[in-house]
Structure 1
Amino acid sequence: MSPMSWSRIVLAVAVAACGGASDMDHPSKRPHQTNAGLDWRDQVIYQIMIDRFENGDPNNDINVHSSVPGRYHGGDWQGVINKLDYLETLGVTALWISPVVKNTEEDAGFASYHGYWTQDFLRPNAHFGDLQKLRELVDKAHKKGMLVILDVVTNHVGQLFYYDINGNGQPDDTLSGGGYSHSCLQICMNNPASCSADE
């Protein structure tokens, strides 16, 4: 994939995470917050894996099995909002949160609670909340003087392509559940050049 394609993906993720969706104010309408002169060595960065941090809204508990290590446990953006005062007392000046985008649900019996199996860079992970809740988290953290760092994974995605083999040793086909039989996958297998990153 060309550097230009990667930059488009990163831009799309940033726009989605920062409220570029239709139900949010456009980023250009928000006041600009400059980080000029910011030295990251002066920051107290607290890394949060959202699913493992705090369950603040049981309404988004989709397939939660908190007693099973490889499954979702229920943490969400509301849980982080609920703990901002606590994080402030620790002296935290920056939150580094796990990926916020939609992931494949599972692979070989393990859930994508960590956020590293991206399925759609333009949609939020519904297990954690919606874009409005993510924006609320960012806004409330900013009001406390905390920076927010979004973990964005661009070097791999979820098991979505015919050449990916899952933990069971079988090819994944999340498009239809048909293994190699899906027509899109047949095109790629029979003529790999037709499945370039530009299409």
Structure 2
Amino acid sequence: MTSISEQYYANAKEAQAKWTEAVKSVFDESKKAFDGQTLAVDANAANERVQQGIDQVFDFWSKAIEFSRDLSKKVADANVEYLNVLQRQAEAAGEQAVTKFEEARARAEKVATQTQEALVKSAAELENSANQVAERATQQFEKNVDAAAEQTVKASQKVAEQADKAADKAEEAGSKARTAANKQA
């Protein structure tokens, strides 16, 4: 597929060649028309010379008018052809622009769809990761609570044991103090 500028250049070159050919054709035709035409002046036949001069002038003007008519027609034909070339180029450029626009629109839609799909996938992955983190945090929190409860129970048990020992010692000390008081009494 050639570009618009290449098509324009080729069409302009073709139109220029046709124009040159038309002008050359007109000049060739005029040269043929005037070949062999000379003004013949005869001193013995003045009337004949005048008649021939008149004929030659009118022949010249008639050929010049015919030449102008042919040239004008060829110029008009060349202009019509050039305008047709320009119209074809404009139509081709319009079609290419529409095609390019449609291709760009289709690519944009595809990219938008892919982007949306990627965002949905990323959001799902992010939600999944967040759920996993939340679950791990909950499990760790429960472990920490269980560990704290165990430590609290152990500490309570130690305190109870120490309180029992202290109570036993206090009872023993009270018993010793009663026995000593009984002995002194």
| Range of TM-score over shorter length | under 0.3
User: Scaled by the length of structure 2, what TM-score is found?
Assistant: 0.19
- Normalising to structure 1: TM-score of the pair? 0.18
| Structure with higher helix content | 2
**Which has the larger share of strand?**
1
Q: Which structure has the greater CA radius of gyration?
A: 2
